[in-house]
Structure 1
Amino acid sequence: MPDATAEIAVVGAGAAGLAAALAFHRAGFDTVLVGLIEPRADGRTVALLDGSVRMLRRLGAWERLRDDAAPLETMRLVDDTGSLFRPPPVAFQASEIGLEAFGWNVESARLVRGLGAVLEETELRRIDAGAEGYSTEEDGAVIALAGGGSVRAGLVVAADGWRSVLRSQAGIKVREWSYPQAALTTILAHDRDHREISTEFHTRHGPFTLVPLPGRRSSLVWVTNPVDAERLGELDDAGLALTIERQAHSILGAMRIDGPRGLVPMTGLSVDRYGAGRLALVGEAAHVFPPIGAQGLNLGLRDVAALVDAVCDAREAGEDIGGEGALRRYQRGRDLDVRLRTTAVHALNRTLLTDFLPADLLRGAGLLVLDNIRPLRRMVMREGVLPRLSTPRLMRAEAR
């Protein structure tokens, strides 16, 4: 006999897994969370876009996070490639599409701690163990726990990361790729006010991005070639801060390292389907993005919201919540969104890595068009924040 039974079992206690467990619990499902909550301070932040903030607010988590998050009121793009076709800087204002901010930037470890604190205040069950096995039965799935024991559920949500054990055992195929780059991440303090402006310099080795944090602080994602990334990581704090200041053309004045550092490989992953055999994939179990364009976790949270919609719809229709019908609804709700954003991020990164003049011309012309054609500009901004088609209910302006 299994040690625990539930309608929904969520495996993985990162941000996507915690959000999934809270969302299903608040939707009235008997839910159990399998996994250890382990916030890791690695200099990484997440820019939570407007739809993600709406979702966190409805899960009761946003008020715990807001004081530690900074609004992103302006997104500025600067071509720093040295190209002959270099366009002038382009700035997008959230107010142009009726938003206070495109999103809010918060340290990743703080987000996990905040979600974990909200979860502790609920009656949601937790099992502090990893999952090492998964099998299906006629009317349920069984998760084998590391160290012994098992959990039986009608639907298993795999939020166990890009090396997902459950995805592998379900036989879901993946496609993986890598870029000749690595990303250095850290937290900075600086002399000048960022004025809630996120600045992304496009360089020949990838984007160099400064994203506001509360006060005169910002997070850095510096995408460059692996050799330079290693060299930067070996600098002492003073040397690294000076190098970052020069790369940023001193737009924020003198800088100081004000947090841990991380070195992130630039990889990507996609799956051929989002569910199989009472198993649904969310977050990095379903897709991995390089740290470009604030897509990774925001897509993961949209996975969660879309899966909750699909399962709630199955319940209302009297269907099996872990059956093929619910998984097909989920697949339809995620496939186009993830594919489009995967293609866009991949295309932008590849054009930066080439000095092929037609590619530079195309990228520069695209920015000029967006800067000057207002209806197109507003449409692209809205779609970048949240797709207007099939927006999950937890992320809509008005909850269902």
Structure 2
Amino acid sequence: MTDTRTEVAVVGAGAAGLAAALALAQAGVPTALVGRHAPVADGRTVALLDGSVRFLAALGAWAPLAPQAAPLAVLQIVDDTGSLFRPPPARFHASEIGLDAFGWNVESAGLVESLRARARETPNLALIERDADACRAGEAEARLTLAGGGTVAARLVVAADGARSRLRAGSGIPVRDWSYPQAALTTILAHDRPHRDVSTEFHTRSGPFTLVPLPGGHRSSLVWVTDTERAEALSALDDADLAQAIETQAKGMLGRMRIDGPRGRVPMRGLAVASPVAHRLALIGEAAHVFPPIGAQGLNLGMRDAAALRDAVRRAAADGRDPGSRAALAGFARDRRRDAALRTAAVDGLNRSLLSALAPVDALRGLGLVAMQAIGPLRRAVMREGVLPRSSVPELMRAGR
């Protein structure tokens, strides 16, 4: 039932919110993190791309997490659509762009716990484990009302409170959202054959079926995007029958499989905002953009949001500007809107192209994959852009590059 005053208040205790709060506090900005810690065991993992790993390392959260992570040294794409224009399997090697791995695959709960442990020991960071019910933005500050009583006043509020963000809804920022006739089944698998640090993505008529390496060589995470009805039927199977269905869909490439972790089922939807900022408010993570679990773009984009916001607040402080003003957030808003729009178009375009049975669409997708395999400079440019855009890279994601 207390009142708190700080420079920046971050609402949302997921990975993006934790990373933003840590980055700001470590930059010397008095920060409060508002939100309850409630990890969900649903078999989900996240492929942290190179820039996100550098960011986490700069925050001091990567070293304890690294032993739980598996490198994604090779990306393999297999066209399993049955198209007449089906290209041969394509392989992309991280070594070709000077990296040991495109990224590292970790269990989502482990990532959040590593960030949380770092947050507990970080000066300048107050942890307030309660929900924020409302936000009122005034001329000089914004004020959060907390569940159960109490308030937090800050010059800038950061909404990291997820896809159904209360703060975004209360801000009046226009939102465009949509859904797909699909769902994603997630789980963790054990398999007989080693994955050899190769992440394999089968493109099927109902969406991507992706196997992503986990540590140990004989475990992988699964993201199986399929039509809603089939996802429901697969979810109803017992472990043995589900493992057999996965093994069949994977063409037996990893040998015999068994379910080795919890399951989840994720609806396929997307969301985009007209602007990631409003008066004394900045949106990051799924409060600003929602992606279907394709191409490892969602959380990595949220990490770039967090790192870019830290840079914007630091610049405002150096210039003696109010960090919650629109002028201080203008560059952040412009860069994040452009980055999110490009990623949204890429993910949405790939998913819709798989669902389409039109021959010209199949031909374009197949020709694109063949061109990337055959033309080295194009392949390397696409790989670099997929891992971390060259333009407007946040400072902590450039560390060591």
Q: TM-score range by the shorter chain?
A: over 0.9
The match for 2:161 is 160
Provide structure 2 residue ranges, at least 5 long, that are not aligned to the other structure. none
CA distance in 2, matches of 1:351, 1:137: 46
Give the direction of change, closer, same or farther, for the CA distance of 1:2–1:276 in structure 2 (3 Å limit): farther
The match for 1:108 is 108
The match for 1:259 is 261
The match for 1:238 is 240
CA distance in 2, matches of 1:126, 1:389: 33
Residue 273 of structure 1 aligns to a residue whose secondary structure is coil
The match for 2:289 is 287
Residue 187 of structure 1 aligns to a residue whose secondary structure is strand
CA distance in 1, matches of 2:57, 2:351: 32
CA distance in 2, matches of 1:136, 1:273: 17
Structure 1 segments of 4+ aligned residues over 4 angstroms from their partners: none
The match for 1:177 is 178
The match for 2:126 is 125
**Greater CA drift, 8-17 or 321-330:** 321-330
Q: How does 1:59-138 map to 2 (within 5 A)?
A: 59-123=59-123, 124-138=125-139
CA drift of 1:357 comes to 0.6
Q: How does 1:1-400 map to 2 (within 5 A)?
A: 3-123=3-123, 124-215=125-216, 216-398=218-400
Residue 62 of structure 1 aligns to a residue whose secondary structure is coil
CA distance in 2, matches of 1:365, 1:310: 40
- Native 8 Å contact 1:174 1:271 kept in 2: yes
- Native 8 Å contact 2:26 2:122 kept in 1: no
* CA displacement 1:7-28 (0-9 Å, x = unmatched): 0101000000110110001010
CA distance in 1, matches of 2:33, 2:42: 24
- Native 8 Å contact 1:314 1:325 kept in 2: no
- Native 8 Å contact 1:13 1:159 kept in 2: yes
Query: Which amino acid is the alignment partner of residue 50 of structure 1?
Result: D
Residue 367 of structure 2 aligns to a residue whose secondary structure is helix
Query: Which amino acid is the alignment partner of residue 238 of structure 1?
Result: A
Query: Which amino acid is the alignment partner of residue 349 of structure 1?
Result: N
Residue 211 of structure 1 aligns to a residue whose secondary structure is strand
* Aligned positions, number: 399
CA drift of 1:64 comes to 1.1
CA drift of 1:335 comes to 1.4
CA distance in 2, matches of 1:219, 1:324: 41
Q: TM-score, normalising length from structure 2?
A: 0.98
* CA displacement 1:36-80 (0-9 Å, x = unmatched): 112211011000000000000000000011010100000000000
- Native 8 Å contact 2:2 2:149 kept in 1: no
CA distance in 1, matches of 2:23, 2:89: 40
Residue 341 of structure 1 aligns to a residue whose secondary structure is helix
Query: Which amino acid is the alignment partner of residue 183 of structure 1?
Result: A
CA drift of 1:82 comes to 0.6
CA distance in 2, matches of 1:214, 1:257: 16
Q: TM-score, normalising length from structure 1?
A: 0.98
CA distance in 1, matches of 2:112, 2:238: 29
CA distance in 2, matches of 1:196, 1:21: 32
CA distance in 1, matches of 2:392, 2:400: 14
**Greater CA drift, 70-79 or 165-174:** 165-174
Residue 380 of structure 2 aligns to a residue whose secondary structure is helix
RMSD (Å) for aligned C-alpha atoms: 1.0
- Native 8 Å contact 1:276 1:327 kept in 2: no
- Native 8 Å contact 1:39 1:110 kept in 2: no
CA distance in 1, matches of 2:3, 2:177: 35
CA drift of 1:115 comes to 0.7
Query: Which amino acid is the alignment partner of residue 365 of structure 1?
Result: L
* CA displacement 1:273-307 (0-9 Å, x = unmatched): 11111010000000000000000000000001111
Query: Which amino acid is the alignment partner of residue 116 of structure 1?
Result: R
- Native 8 Å contact 1:189 1:218 kept in 2: yes
CA drift of 1:397 comes to 3.7
Query: Which amino acid is the alignment partner of residue 144 of structure 2?
Result: I
CA distance in 1, matches of 2:264, 2:133: 28
CA drift of 1:2 comes to 6.8
Residue 183 of structure 2 aligns to a residue whose secondary structure is strand
Query: Which amino acid is the alignment partner of residue 36 of structure 1?
Result: R
Residue 65 of structure 2 aligns to a residue whose secondary structure is helix
CA drift of 1:112 comes to 0.6
Residue 63 of structure 1 aligns to a residue whose secondary structure is coil
* CA displacement 1:132-166 (0-9 Å, x = unmatched): 11001221100000111110001101000011111
Query: Could you tell me the percent identity over the aligned residues?
Result: 65
**Greater CA drift, 323-332 or 97-106:** 323-332
CA drift of 1:398 comes to 4.0
CA drift of 1:329 comes to 1.6
CA distance in 2, matches of 1:354, 1:342: 18
Residue 134 of structure 2 aligns to a residue whose secondary structure is strand
- Native 8 Å contact 1:189 1:258 kept in 2: yes
Query: Which amino acid is the alignment partner of residue 188 of structure 1?
Result: L
